[in-house]
């Protein structure tokens, strides 16, 4: 079975189990997720910032004993800091480039997750559709004529398209629930 198919069929804990047992390497999973991200990128437009090189570097030295070791992951481009990665918040205003990781990012990394991209969001997370002048329309992978919802629509689209098995999202008024429902992840 291909690594890309395993990425599609297994959940995060299943993938981490395969990495822990040595049946699959973190680098194999990372490369499959990156390939899937690039293959779906033109169609669904869910990537704000690719993190491919840092993901490859992290995958090479991941501690296989971590609970989610080697699992490819997406971090929403809104309200979270990743050291050295431009944070746009879906806006055309100049990106903020933090010189630190937020606590949530540190926790994701400590669990063994491997961020491969930041995911799109509507400008400042203010709409229940993931569309912005900065990044355009994020499309539903099941039907690109339909919305992914918002504001975590980029994250939902990446999970629904089999790019990553799990992704960061935030919710102040339906921003996880709406994209999950729109993308068939409920």
Residues marked as catalytic = 76, 151, 175
Q: Token digits for 101?
A: 């990781």
- First vs last Cα of the chain: how many Å apart? 27
Distance CA 7, CA 5 (A): 5
Distance CA 68, CA 57 (A): 17
Half-sphere exposure of 106 (CA within 13 A, CB side): 4
Distance CA 121, CA 89 (A): 7
């Amino acid at each position: 079975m291909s690594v890309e198919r395993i990425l599609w069929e297994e959940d995060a804990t299943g993938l981490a189990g395969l990495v822990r047992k040595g049946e699959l390497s973190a680098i194999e999973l990372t490369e499959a997720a990156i390939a899937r991200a690039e293959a779906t990128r033109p169609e669904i437009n869910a990537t704000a910032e690719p993190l491919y090189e840092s993901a490859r570097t992290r995958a090479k030295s991941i501690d296989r004993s971590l609970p989610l070791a080697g699992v490819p992951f997406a971090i929403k481009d809104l309200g979270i800091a990743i050291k050295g990665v431009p944070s746009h918040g879906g806006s055309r205003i100049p990106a903020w480039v933090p010189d630190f990781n937020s606590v949530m990012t540190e926790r994701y990394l400590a669990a063994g997750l491997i961020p491969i991209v930041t995911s799109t969001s509507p400008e400042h997370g203010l709409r229940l559709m993931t569309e912005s002048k900065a990044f355009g329309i994020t499309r539903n992978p099941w039907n690109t004529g339909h919305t992914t919802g918002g504001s975590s629509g980029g994250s939902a689209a990446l999970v629904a398209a089999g790019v990553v098995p799990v992704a960061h999202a935030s919710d102040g008024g339906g921003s996880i629930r709406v994209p999950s429902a729109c993308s068939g992840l409920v």
